[in-house]
Structure 1
Amino acid sequence: MPRLLPTPVQVRAAHLAASTFPALFFSALTTAAGAQAAARPVPPRAGEVPAALALIREADIKRDLYAMAGDAMRGREAGTPDEMRASIWVAEQLRDIGVKPVGDDGSYFQWFNMIRTRVSTVSTTGALGGQPLEVWKDFVPLGNSGADVNGPVVWLANAADTTVDVRGKVVATPLLAPNPASIRTTTNSPDVRYTQAAVGAMQQRFARRGAAGLILVADPTADRAFDPLVTLRVRGTYDVDRAAQRFAAQPTRAELPVPARQAGTPAFLVRGSMAPRLQQTPVAEFHVRLERFETPSTNIVGVIRGSDPVLRDEYVLYSSHQDHDGVRYLIDGDSVWAGADDNGTGSVALLASARAFAKQRPKRSILFVYHGAEERGLLGSRYHAAHPVVPLRNIVAVLNGEMMGRNHPDSASLLGVQPPHRNSTDLVTMALRANALTGRFQLDSLWDRPTHPEGWYFRSDHVPYARLNVPAVMYTTNLHDDYHTPRDKPERIDYPKLTRMTRWMYLTGWFVANAPKRPAIDPGFKLER
């Protein structure tokens, strides 16, 4: 699940609201079903639940997750051999289950190239008082844009001092501690979260004041975060050509400037030991250059053909992503960001569902898509939505599993359950019925609200399909403190809960695949805030 940058103060407010007020925030549609599931078991109607549901077993799910999210997979980072290793493993599991390949050249793989843009280590230079500085060792460019800064340094001992006119000047100043409420509570390590919040506030402050360049001197916390921050920023940014949009206002690559130039004030972070040199008002010179190249990633695609000779040409798409963050910096002695919950849980849920569908086929076909490079910006799903392996008009629903194995045993979220995110009341109704018959989770709809500061709905692989008017929902148990850290390991997963989530997701697809009519798009649906 890729990160966005919500206002951390809003994140804290949302978490406070969730803990202070009743945990369940239901729309009219979810209230009855949620209360029914919580109050008493719902007996299935005759023939409503397939016998194959019993084939979804906790032992299989646990075995698969330890294999996929173990340290041997090295975090499955997109564009690396580790993502390829995980992708091949997933394809082998699908083959053994009996899922047929529908990818390129009769394989399980739909290949695409990530367009990667990063600061060039070779061409980017820096100097202070004529003495060279090395990028990523002595200074960190606080942006992924080309920039040129050249001029005498104005030392500002107190960044909060507004009496000094800094317009058009290169300013060096100690990093101010951020407002504690502005620091995110999840993702990465506390020192990095602190530094990112501090840097963001300082950049905004001096951009408003019109500085020509900004050199931020790390405080002790930022000094500790310096090398981890390098590990995160050196990767750059990613995109994919000829792809569907994630956001309505997302520019096409043809609209992006090449090379990109720094918007606003170019800024750099230096180590705390640099302060004495900067106080001597030397001339600072920075030249940031970018490099762009292509790196392969892949979607893994397979199908179980339906049993009905007419309906088998329609497809229920089960969605996950196989990549995560790879090997990064040490936290508590561990550098493998394994991504057991994000998104090993969704991935093994698809394998378990495939075993059930392979033994008892529904009327419509079941299409399994493991999207590559989700963590780089939903690249695989954006590519497949634009180049689907079956006609897009024949995809009747997308069921996306993302982070399904943590937090309270009886709580979960179904994203796409309420407007403006709900695009198919028919699909939501089937999903709620399936929950009542399987997981019986109490559904927290707070995370599905357009006002939620995490922007959770827009951060996973169902979004490009929903934007193209394919009925779509996302199954999740939401964020936790181990999100995007090396602590997201298989041993921290609640396997009984993950099994219930998998059965819920499977049964929803069974209902969709056997319904006389495909789920309809709600009239007037428009996926905008």
Structure 2
Amino acid sequence: MNKTLTQLLLAAACTTSFAQQTPPGLSAIRTAELKKDLYGMADARFKGRSAGTVDELKAAAWTADLYRSIGLKPAGDDGTYFQYFDMVRNEVSPQSGIRINGKNYALWQEAAVAQMANASLDAPITYLGNALNVDTSNADVKGKVVAIEANGKDINLDVSLPTWRYSRYIYQKYGAPLVRRGAAAILFIADDYAEKAWADAAENFKRGSFDIEGGPAANVTTTVPVIWLHQAAKNELTSGNARLQANIILQQYRYPSANIVGIIPGSDPVLKNEYLLYSGHTDAHGIRNIIKGDSIYYGADDNASVNVAMLACARAFMQSKPKRSVIFVIHGAEERGLLGSRYFVSKPTVPLDKIVTVLNGDMIGRKHPDSAAILGSQVPHRTSLELVNMAMAANNEGPRFKLDTLWDKPTHVEGWYFRSDHLPYARLGIPSLMYTTLLHPDYHTPQDDAARIDYDKLKKMTDWMYRTGYKVANAAKAPARDKDFKLER
């Protein structure tokens, strides 16, 4: 922990005048209700709430019923709680075929397409050898199909989901330079770690790419295919006359997803035209590979924990009647690339320039009971020093978490600030924070289930989010934006 920064922030919070320290409505946040809601949202009947599926939409409808029971006003489209949008999905057609030296390689089992491109190839294969021994920045590969052995010796795998990320790291280190030098296709031969990661990687590859209409991935612009092969294929590729015959066909679909949007109108005749926005996301990862006997990725911490916290905050605000309006947006398709939040900022259901603060959450129910973090508290991620001071004061008045500040640094290997739904809002300069209790080994696995949530800690996190929101919703002036805010990427 960066103790100096934490002490400075706490000192600033303690010397700043905010709304009263114990906000009315706090008693409406109850551990038993959080637990009941979370068991409902992370139930097996929603089959992991995968974005773009009927399971995500069923979970959205279930959540909207809770919005209604709490008393939130619909703030989606056409007088409903829903803002529907289309996800554009590109995937490799099962009609695609890959042959090496006349032998068929079964798609996903023997050959996995990691980078999609419509391609029809019948060409000799140039074998480059082990990646560690290849100068990829100077290799003569223009117009060639090249094969190269993966090697992760110099790659940092001390990250979350390393089996999901390994192939991408290998491509960035060794494949991208070859593409820039004009390679027509790349065949990666799996090393030991890639073999270990094959099931997770292939599952991700086969799902393709996703975007909203008009987004950069809505139309495939990749020019060359990248294909992974098992170690057993090496002998075929080193024979000196190896040849690739590949017909890779891409197909595109549109799937519905939805943001769930409800509002508590403000009580002040002027300030009610400004909005505090609470943010979470519905989707998890559906049904995937079996891990420890289960294949449903329940998404209890990620991100049902935040969604039920938002419901509890809504109940609290219904008792306390804030001066500003409070809008609750549980976004769809976050796991597909922040699609719901990106869509909302492109087509907001309330005036975008009147959203004065976004309080987003991502995974707030696990790990040590006395520790937590907020992302967006440090430059260059900080959008508003005043908002950070409010959040620090709220923590000091209530849960008094010991705050981890390392994850908010631009040098942190996870880069998690860029992976949650506050980001599209923050990019517009809207004061934004992300509350979290950070990652754990059950992240994006079936073991992220409701039984593993620390409900006492979840209540403390919910209290913190509500206390911060109460300050924002009732302050005489909205948190000022940092004038020099600029993200590092």
Which TM-score applies when normalising by structure 1? 0.83
RMSD: 3.0
Q: Distance in 1 between matches of 2:334 and 2:122?
A: 38
Displacement of 1:297 in angstroms is 0.6
Give the match for residue 323 of structure 2.
363
Displacement of 1:196 in angstroms is 5.5
Matched, 1:218 2:194: no
Displacement of 1:437 in angstroms is 1.1
Choose which of 369, 372, 383 in structure 2 pairs with 1:412: 372
CA contact (8 A) 2:90 2:208 kept: yes
Gap change, CA 1:60 and 1:162, over 3 Å in 2? closer
User: What are the ranges of 5 or more consecutive residues in structure 2 without an aligned counterpart?
Assistant: none
Q: Distance in 1 between matches of 2:472 and 2:129?
A: 64
Q: Amino acid of the residue matched to residue 111 of structure 2? A: F
CA contact (8 A) 1:75 1:338 kept: yes
Choose which of 123, 132, 137 in structure 2 pairs with 1:151: 123
Give the match for residue 221 of structure 2.
260
What are the Cα deviations for residues 211-265 of structure 1, in whole angstroms up to 9, with x where unaligned? 54433333565445434322111111111136xxxxxxxxx54xx79552335xx
Give the match for residue 73 of structure 2.
100
Gap change, CA 1:476 and 1:287, over 3 Å in 2? same
Q: Distance in 2 between matches of 1:320 and 1:428?
A: 19
Q: Distance in 2 between matches of 1:285 and 1:46?
A: 69
Q: Amino acid of the residue matched to residue 483 of structure 1? A: Y
Q: Distance in 1 between matches of 2:231 and 2:176?
A: 21
Give the match for residue 342 of structure 1.
302
Q: Amino acid of the residue matched to residue 262 of structure 2? A: G
Gap change, CA 1:420 and 1:211, over 3 Å in 2? closer
Q: Amino acid of the residue matched to residue 270 of structure 1? A: L
Give the match for residue 350 of structure 2.
390
Displacement of 1:355 in angstroms is 1.0
Choose which of 455, 472, 478 in structure 1 pairs with 2:438: 478
Aligned to 1:309, what secondary structure does the other structure show?
A: coil
Give the match for residue 32 of structure 1.
11
User: What are the ranges of 5 or more consecutive residues in structure 1 without an aligned counterpart?
Assistant: 1-21, 243-251
CA contact (8 A) 2:122 2:246 kept: yes
Q: How does 1:388-467 map to 2 (within 5 A)?
A: 388-467=348-427
Gap change, CA 1:196 and 1:238, over 3 Å in 2? closer
Aligned to 1:182, what secondary structure does the other structure show?
A: coil
What are the Cα deviations for residues 400-457 of structure 1, in whole angstroms up to 9, with x where unaligned? 1111112222221122212222122222221111111111112222211222222222
Gap change, CA 1:179 and 1:61, over 3 Å in 2? same
Aligned to 1:51, what secondary structure does the other structure show?
A: coil
Aligned to 1:407, what secondary structure does the other structure show?
A: coil
Give the match for residue 11 of structure 1.
none
Q: Distance in 2 between matches of 1:387 and 1:196?
A: 32
Q: Distance in 1 between matches of 2:268 and 2:161?
A: 46
Displacement of 1:162 in angstroms is 5.0
> After alignment, is 127-136 or 212-221 more displaced?
212-221
CA contact (8 A) 2:87 2:257 kept: yes
Displacement of 1:390 in angstroms is 1.1
Give the match for residue 325 of structure 1.
285
CA contact (8 A) 2:101 2:242 kept: yes
Q: Amino acid of the residue matched to residue 505 of structure 1? A: M
What are the Cα deviations for residues 298-357 of structure 1, in whole angstroms up to 9, with x where unaligned? 000001122223222222111111111111111222211111111111111101111111
CA contact (8 A) 2:21 2:397 kept: no
Q: Amino acid of the residue matched to residue 389 of structure 1? A: T
Give the match for residue 48 of structure 2.
75
Give the match for residue 136 of structure 1.
108
Q: How does 1:258-337 map to 2 (within 5 A)?
A: 259-263=220-224, 266-280=225-239, 281-337=241-297
Q: Distance in 1 between matches of 2:366 and 2:433?
A: 19
Aligned to 1:142, what secondary structure does the other structure show?
A: strand
CA contact (8 A) 2:116 2:226 kept: no
CA contact (8 A) 1:303 1:365 kept: yes
CA contact (8 A) 2:10 2:393 kept: no
Aligned to 1:385, what secondary structure does the other structure show?
A: helix
Q: Distance in 2 between matches of 1:24 and 1:72?
A: 44
Choose which of 110, 128, 131 in structure 1 pairs with 2:83: 110
Q: Distance in 2 between matches of 1:372 and 1:519?
A: 27
Displacement of 1:283 in angstroms is 2.3
CA contact (8 A) 1:188 1:484 kept: no
Aligned to 1:77, what secondary structure does the other structure show?
A: coil
**Percent sequence identity over matched residues?**
46
Q: Distance in 2 between matches of 1:380 and 1:25?
A: 37
Aligned to 2:115, what secondary structure does the other structure show?
A: coil
Give the match for residue 59 of structure 2.
86
Q: How does 1:163-202 map to 2 (within 5 A)?
A: 167=141, 169-172=144-147, 175-179=149-153, 181-187=155-161, 189=163, 197=169, 201-202=173-174
Q: Amino acid of the residue matched to residue 121 of structure 1? A: P
Give the match for residue 203 of structure 2.
231
Q: Amino acid of the residue matched to residue 54 of structure 2? A: P
Aligned to 2:186, what secondary structure does the other structure show?
A: strand
Q: Distance in 2 between matches of 1:415 and 1:259?
A: 32
Displacement of 1:210 in angstroms is 6.7
What are the Cα deviations for residues 342-373 of structure 1, in whole angstroms up to 9, with x where unaligned? 11111111011111111221111111001111
Q: Distance in 1 between matches of 2:218 and 2:349?
A: 32
What are the Cα deviations for residues 269-301 of structure 1, in whole angstroms up to 9, with x where unaligned? 223443444454342211222222211110000
CA contact (8 A) 2:371 2:403 kept: yes
